Structure 1
Amino acid sequence: MTAKGTGSGGGRKLPREPYERELYRLQSELVKLQEWVRAEGVRLVIVFEGRDAAGKGGTIKRVTEYLNPRVARIVALPRPTERERGQWYFQRYVEHLPTTGEIRLFDRSWYNRAGVEHVMGFCTKAEHQRFLHQCPIFERMLVEDGVLLRKYWFSVSDAEQERRFRKRLEDPLRRWKLSPMDLESITRWEAYSRAKDEMLVHTDIPEAPWHIVESDDKRRARLNMIAHLLSTVPYREVPPPDVTIPPRPPASGYRRPPKDLQSYVPDHAAGLVE
């Protein structure tokens, strides 16, 4: 496996103040990265994979928080349609790849076949083996064509995963995030571990290596992933265009129509103030 090191597990939970300070700094750099991508016509693909409840979604949210959604777009595909099942496996993903000046963040990707499809029996053994053979070829083609491809695997301990699942179960705002597939990941922990190990053996290639984000602290994981991404892309700060806000022209006699002719949203916030 290409990704080396002792991991990014860290010690105790990172306090909020230094976390938010560093996150803001890194997000400022992500904006610079975005402008460089747009100015230079770069195509950047970031793949987010890993255990259920390992923090992929929260990290993606922080990466894109201040980015232009027309430049940086999240790709989170639903289960394939009947027509897509009859296509070449990678075909449905190809149409979501970026053109020049764009970033695509895959919240799950073609690696579904190496993980959930393989473990849950949603694909045949032959389809799984074909994927492991074709995936490095597919990714080498992307890289050879100039695409910047970055792949991150988010790891989490079994105890922390279960804790997060229980927290979702108790929180009505996040209950929707707890799916039947999530629960299966508890009983099939070792099967997913074997599937991940086999996937890394075949797809951790020099042209597109895997980078492991290992931490039971979501704050550390987010900072580690973003900092690493920025360190792997040779971006530079692009000077912003010289923009001047023009003076407002003098009034020309326009009058707004009476308010009783239009329907206004009630002031819900008024009831919150004593």
Structure 2
Amino acid sequence: MSKTKGKKSGTQGPAEQDPKLQAPPKRVPKKPYESELERLQVELVTMQRWVVDTGARLVVIFEGRDAAGKGGAIKRIMQYLNPRSARVVALPTPSEREKGQWYFQRYVEHLPTKGEIVLMDRSWYNRAGVERVMEYCTAEQYQLFLQQAPLFEKMLVDDGIILIKYWFSVSDDVQEQRFHSRLGDPMRRWKLSDTDVLSISRWEDYSRAKDAMFEATDTVDAPWWTIESDDKRSSRLNAINHLLSQVPYEHRDPDEIQIPARPKSSDYERPAKELHKHVPDHAGSLAEK
């Protein structure tokens, strides 16, 4: 399997070398961010229409360290897409039955059919990252994965699937800040697991695993694209803009729809509201306060 020429896939990105030597990222102001995000999301809807009309198949892989911003980017991409032809795949820990399968088998069934977009919130690269570092797989299983992953991805691309792989790169300082933020937030506390916390003490182990993964799987057929994600707004805009540039979509106007005039009521009489059960007006009680 040939590697991407001229790229040093195994080297660390700027955000993962020494964050103390890096200037803090410039935060994109809120108004320009929201304006550009809206424009890009309109383009995503246009792109999805092309995918559906042409029967294209799109797989986008989101990888990176814990708290690197993958989930936020996926949320903004999916926000206005039609869920009938776009879905997120975030697989749980494999079952005992799945552990006995060929490693890639559980992922194959989640690949897109014609006219579908699949966003993978982590993917088969679990084996090259957390499974490798936490020793959830054997050394033999890990080496076999590094051999098979480029071949597996080449088969997908050769079959016509558009495969895009993103690595969200976050500095150690920012990752730790986000962990502390999640710890005190009851709505995001579920995002913080024991494995996530261990990634702080195993930072260099994860760095080495990522370097080895890039060295083996950053190929011409399926290259890795790194997104600096210390600033979430920037990373989301950059991810969506780049994603759109990688899909050869064309602008397609939606089918014209005529909304008819509502006919006048004839002999229909609505039953009395008292005959039905209604949800208590909780919002109304707040308005009174």
| Superposition TM-score tier, normalisation by shorter sequence | over 0.9
Equivalent positions of 1:213-224 (< 5 A) are: 213-224=227-238
Counterpart CA distance in 1 for 2:109 and 2:25 is: 41
Q: Percent identity?
A: 62
Which residue pairs with 2:101 in the alignment?
87
Task: Give TM-score scaled by structure 1 length.
Answer: 0.96
Counterpart CA distance in 2 for 1:70 and 1:124 is: 38
Which residue pairs with 1:33 in the alignment?
47
Q: Residue 168 in 1 paired to residue 174 in 2? A: no
Code of the aligned partner of 1:191 = D
Code of the aligned partner of 1:248 = R
Code of the aligned partner of 1:199 = M
Counterpart CA distance in 2 for 1:88 and 1:162 is: 35
Counterpart CA distance in 2 for 1:107 and 1:15 is: 27
Q: CA deviation at 1:247?
A: 2.1
Q: CA deviation at 1:257?
A: 1.2
Contact 1:10 1:220 in 2 (8 A): no
Q: CA deviation at 1:70?
A: 1.1
Contact 2:69 2:229 in 1 (8 A): no
**1:131-187 CA-partner distances (Å, limit 9, x unpaired):** 000000000000000000000000100000000000111111111111111101111
Q: How many residue pairs were aligned?
A: 274
| 1:181 maps to which of 195, 219, 234 | 195
Q: Residue 273 in 1 paired to residue 278 in 2? A: no
Equivalent positions of 1:64-143 (< 5 A) are: 64-143=78-157
Cα distance change on mapping 1:137 and 1:251 into 2, 3 Å: same
Contact 1:10 1:215 in 2 (8 A): no
Unmatched 5+ stretches in structure 1 = none
**1:46-93 CA-partner distances (Å, limit 9, x unpaired):** 000000000000000000000011111000000000000000000000
Code of the aligned partner of 2:154 = R
Which residue pairs with 2:220 in the alignment?
206
Which residue pairs with 2:242 in the alignment?
228
SS in structure 2 at match of 1:235:
coil
Q: Residue 59 in 1 paired to residue 66 in 2? A: no
Contact 2:63 2:167 in 1 (8 A): yes
Counterpart CA distance in 1 for 2:227 and 2:109 is: 28
| 1:159 maps to which of 154, 168, 173 | 173
SS in structure 2 at match of 1:242:
coil
Q: Residue 248 in 1 paired to residue 250 in 2? A: no
Q: CA deviation at 1:252?
A: 2.1
Cα distance change on mapping 1:7 and 1:35 into 2, 3 Å: farther
Counterpart CA distance in 2 for 1:250 and 1:261 is: 25
SS in structure 2 at match of 1:186:
helix
Q: Residue 260 in 1 paired to residue 288 in 2? A: no
Q: CA deviation at 1:4?
A: 7.7
Contact 2:128 2:146 in 1 (8 A): yes
Counterpart CA distance in 1 for 2:96 and 2:68 is: 30
Counterpart CA distance in 2 for 1:229 and 1:4 is: 22
SS in structure 1 at match of 2:97:
helix
Contact 2:52 2:115 in 1 (8 A): yes
Counterpart CA distance in 2 for 1:236 and 1:116 is: 38
Counterpart CA distance in 2 for 1:110 and 1:237 is: 32
Q: CA deviation at 1:115?
A: 0.4
| CA-atom RMSD in angstroms | 1.7
Which residue pairs with 2:18 in the alignment?
none
Task: Give TM-score scaled by structure 2 length.
Answer: 0.91
Equivalent positions of 1:6-21 (< 5 A) are: 11-21=25-35
Q: CA deviation at 1:222?
A: 0.4
Runs in 1 of length 4+ with deviation above 4 angstroms? 1-10
SS in structure 2 at match of 1:273:
helix
| 1:192 maps to which of 201, 206, 215 | 206
**1:12-61 CA-partner distances (Å, limit 9, x unpaired):** 21111111110000001000000000000000000000000000000000
Counterpart CA distance in 2 for 1:243 and 1:7 is: 50
